[in-house]
Amino acid sequence: MLKKIDHIGIAVKNLEEALAFYEDALGLQATGTEVVEEQKVKIAFLPLGESKLELLESTSPDGPVAKFIEARGEGIQHIAVRVDNIEEMLQEMEEKGVRLIDKPPRYGAGGARIAFLHPKSTSGILLELCQRNEEEK
Ligand code: ZN
């Protein structure tokens, strides 16, 4: 079951420069930065009400975020929805013929379990399913 928009992922060329806008100008507060080796990204989460913004800077020219920026420029790269049972959700998606990028799910920033659905199945959005520990907002 889908719970809410967990976060919106924004591909940026330079995390520090992006934070200068999102923190200093907008007044949001990042919860720190984290490198996710597997995805070749350095990220920062900025809580905003019930959800968050996720800024992603590539740590390598061949990472998915670098390729995204090369093709489309900086901007919204994915939308993440919170689910309570990611395995069940992926199973259901598969049964319904949805194209999956990740099965089984993998670990993302903050220890969340995540899996992407293919934009071909979602009308063009890279959709992330995201399961977090219950106590985590
Ligand atoms: Zn994300």
CA of 25 to the centre of ligand 1 (A): 23
pLDDT score recorded for residue 10: 98
Neighbours of 81 (CB within 10 A): 17
* Strands 2-12 vs 51-58: parallel, antiparallel or unpaired: parallel
- At 22-35, the pLDDT tens digits run 999 999 999 999 99
pLDDT score recorded for residue 109: 84
CA of 91 to the centre of ligand 1 (A): 20
CA of 128 to the centre of ligand 1 (A): 6
**Which range of residues forms the domain containing residue 101?**
2-136
CATH number at residue 74: 3.10.180.10
CA of 125 to the centre of ligand 1 (A): 13
| Geometric angle at alpha carbon 109, from 104 and 113, rounded to 5° | 25
Rounded distance between C-alpha atoms, residue 2 and residue 60, angstroms: 32
- At 72-116, the pLDDT tens digits run 999 999 999 999 999 999 999 999 999 999 989 998 888 899 999
CA of 136 to the centre of ligand 1 (A): 15
Rounded distance between C-alpha atoms, residue 123 and residue 133, angstroms: 29
CA of 109 to the centre of ligand 1 (A): 8
Rounded distance between C-alpha atoms, residue 89 and residue 53, angstroms: 23
CA of 95 to the centre of ligand 1 (A): 24
Residues measured by CB to lie within 5 Å of ligand 1, the ion: 9, 54, 80, 128
For the cut 70, the answer to whether the pLDDT of residue 39 exceeds it is: yes
- At 121-135, the pLDDT tens digits run 999 999 999 999 866
**Residue holding tokens 């992922």?**
9
Domain count of the fold of the chain: 1
pLDDT score recorded for residue 34: 95
pLDDT score recorded for residue 25: 97
pLDDT score recorded for residue 38: 87
Rounded distance between C-alpha atoms, residue 106 and residue 88, angstroms: 14
Q: Give all strands (DSSP E) within the chain, no chain letters.
A: 2-12, 33-36, 41-48, 51-58, 75-83, 106-107, 113-117, 127-131
pTM of the shown model: 0.93
CA of 103 to the centre of ligand 1 (A): 16
pLDDT score recorded for residue 133: 81
